[in-house]
Amino acid sequence: MAGHVVVVGAGLAGLSAALHLQGTGRNVTVLEKADAPGGRAGTVRVGGFTADSGPTVLTMPEYLDEAFGAVGERREDWLTLDRVDPAYRARFADGSRIAVHTDAEQMEDEVRNVCGATEAAGYRDLRRWLRKLYEVQREHFIGANFDSPFDLVRPELVKLASLGGFGRLEPQLRRFIKDERLIRLFSFQALYAGVPPQQALAAYAVIAYMDTIAGVYHPRGGMHAVPEALSKAAAKHGTQFRYGTTVTRLEWSGSRVIAVHAEDERIAADAVVLACELPDAYRLLGKYPRRPLRHRWSPSAVVLHAATNRTWDLGHHNILFGEAWRGTFDEIVHKGRLMSDPSLLVTHAQNGLHYVLAPCPNLETAPIDWPRIAPRYRDELVSTLEKRGLNGFGDAIQAEHLVTPHDWGNAAGTPFGLAHTFAQTGPFRPRNVVKGAENVALAGAGTTPGVGVPPVLISGRLAAQRINAMR
């Protein structure tokens, strides 16, 4: 059983792993190349503001509770979460709007008022289906380690199949709702998993469950308050943090790692968790699992952070849908083009500070010369916002910061990691253990269970379980 565990990476996955390991009596050292914890949940300066650079809301806070609870702490003592209601506000090209409430009665009334009584009844049935999907998947698919595809063969697999989980997402949604606006609201989340809604497995409707039923929260102080709180709780219980430390190589004895080297320093280790980008983990290991298909990466995103001297009628989370739908996904996923009629996510986290996200192709799908075209695309985004109701947005900008695929610094220039295609889902996703590395586990968006804040927190727990099971 491992005594001293070195965790490489202080993102949410690494912090979760550290807490779960510390809670089982391990001595843990976390090495992070940046000057602060957070990874993708970092910050950026926009004028006099500090803005979240990655995710802007939190779902499924019970996974945070697990991480804090691993060392006997309560999340409420470290972090204050405010519920976001409505979870989303959607604007459509025809001028209509739908507020997405997580409360069943409120949302049913909203659907009835905007889409009619038939759609409201369908929403009730859809809500039941989403809940059943999540309940079936929570422990046995989302929160489980897989060693082979045969691990899928369990009673829950039959239940998931009977619910239509292995069908396509959009056709399954149409069993319950027909209004195209609702179809968009309950399927656009598939893009977070890197797959167009028309091609995504219906099982990924669990993301819509997390967003539209379980509840959406915003931590006071922004999303970066989450890794700050996790790191402080871990430090309280003995985890050592070393920031500004870049890991250069692993030292081996046979098939075991015995030390981690960071520039001119050697840190002895009984076990290692690599909670860094998946290509970086494989490079450090010097081992690349054989796969019949090459890795397929999710689409990327352009993010415009803008501090303005005025505000508009916006909620915390807003989706501005264009008229086009199917074609937009085909453009960014298959054709490698920028959206000709973009749908945008606009977060208004505090007065005057806006976060505008536009999905776009990753650098493998389209090696766009972003340094050259970024200024022009920024102007196109501002123009689109003004056409969608944010009149005078460009003139109101006092300070801004633009992030393109060229700037993310992640594999294929995408912050969303590996796409959740069938060949990269469940037991077919890159495993969190690698053959030939007896005392190493992986954590993060590239491995089990996948992309998003809740899955990444789970990945840290699963990596800790792997380490605790090693001899």
Residues 418-466 pLDDT 10s: 887 777 777 778 889 999 999 999 999 999 898 889 999 999 999 999 9
Q: What pLDDT sits at residue 246?
A: 96
Cα–Cα distance between 244 and 233 in angstroms, integer?
20
Angle between helices 12-22 and 453-469 (to 10 degrees): 40
Q: Which residues have a Cβ under 8 Å from the Cβ of 309 and sit 6 or more positions away?
A: 352, 396, 398
Q: Which of 33-47, 140-154, 178-192: highest mean pLDDT?
A: 33-47
Q: Which residues have a Cβ under 8 Å from the Cβ of 420 and sit 6 or more positions away?
A: 193, 194, 195, 200, 201, 204, 298, 429, 450, 451
Out of 16-30, 251-265, 350-364, which region has the weakest mean confidence (pLDDT)? 350-364
Q: Is the pLDDT of residue 1 over 70?
A: no
Cα–Cα distance between 445 and 456 in angstroms, integer?
6
In this structure, are strands 256-262 and 265-268 parallel, antiparallel, or unpaired? Answer: antiparallel
Out of 145-149, 354-358, 411-415, which region has the weakest mean confidence (pLDDT)? 145-149
Cα–Cα distance between 89 and 181 in angstroms, integer?
12
Q: What pLDDT sits at residue 175?
A: 95
Q: Is the pLDDT of residue 146 over 60?
A: no
Q: H/E element holding 97?
A: strand 97-100
Cα–Cα distance between 21 and 3 in angstroms, integer?
10
Q: What pLDDT sits at residue 148?
A: 47
Which is more confident, 245 or 329?
245
DSSP codes of every residue in 233-262: HHHHTT-EEEES----EEEEETTEEEEEEE
Q: What pLDDT sits at residue 143?
A: 58
Q: Is the pLDDT of residue 41 over 90?
A: yes
SS3 231: helix
Partners of 356 in the beta sheet?
Answer: 304, 346
Segment 323-332 mean pLDDT: 86
The amino acid sitting at 91 is: R
Whether the CB-CB separation of 250 and 285 falls below 8 Å is answered with: yes
Q: HSE, CB side, 13 Å, CA atoms: give it for residue 148.
A: 2
Percent of the chain with pLDDT over 90: 72
* CATH assignment, 4-40+223-294+420-469: 3.50.50.60
Q: What pLDDT sits at residue 220?
A: 93
Q: What pLDDT sits at residue 292?
A: 62
- pLDDT band, residue 145 (cuts 50/70/90): low
Whether the CB-CB separation of 419 and 195 falls below 8 Å is answered with: yes
Whether the CB-CB separation of 315 and 85 falls below 8 Å is answered with: no
- pLDDT band, residue 200 (cuts 50/70/90): confident
Segment 361-382 mean pLDDT: 95
Q: What pLDDT sits at residue 411?
A: 87
Segment 342-364 mean pLDDT: 91
Kindly report the average pLDDT of the chain as a whole number.
91
Out of 7-21, 110-124, 275-289, which region has the weakest mean confidence (pLDDT)? 275-289
Q: Is the pLDDT of residue 142 over 70?
A: no
Whether the CB-CB separation of 448 and 204 falls below 8 Å is answered with: no
SS3 191: helix
- pLDDT band, residue 68 (cuts 50/70/90): very high
Q: Is the pLDDT of residue 150 over 50?
A: no
Cα–Cα distance between 51 and 343 in angstroms, integer?
22
| Nearest CA-CA partner of 229 in 242, 238, 219 | 219
CA distances from 293 to 104, 287, 347, 421, 424 (A): 42, 17, 36, 11, 10
Q: What pLDDT sits at residue 383?
A: 97
Q: What pLDDT sits at residue 190?
A: 80
Whether the CB-CB separation of 67 and 457 falls below 8 Å is answered with: yes
Q: What is the pLDDT of residues 71-105, one digit of tens each?
A: 999 999 999 999 999 999 999 999 999 999 999 99
Q: What pLDDT sits at residue 152?
A: 54
Q: What are phi and psi of 305, to 5 degrees?
A: -90, 125
SS3 307: strand
DSSP codes of every residue in 10-35: -BHHHHHHHHHHHTTT-EEEEEESSS
Cα–Cα distance between 431 and 147 in angstroms, integer?
8
Q: Which residues have a Cβ under 8 Å from the Cβ of 84 and sit 6 or more positions away?
A: 57, 216, 217, 218, 315, 316, 317
Q: What pLDDT sits at residue 49?
A: 87
Whether the CB-CB separation of 134 and 62 falls below 8 Å is answered with: no
In this structure, are strands 43-46 and 27-32 parallel, antiparallel, or unpaired? Answer: unpaired
In this structure, the number of other CB atoms found within 10 A of the CB of residue 127 comes to 18
Segment 380-387 mean pLDDT: 96
Q: What pLDDT sits at residue 320?
A: 95
> How much is the pTM?
0.93
Q: What pLDDT sits at residue 204?
A: 80
Q: HSE, CB side, 13 Å, CA atoms: give it for residue 417.
A: 28
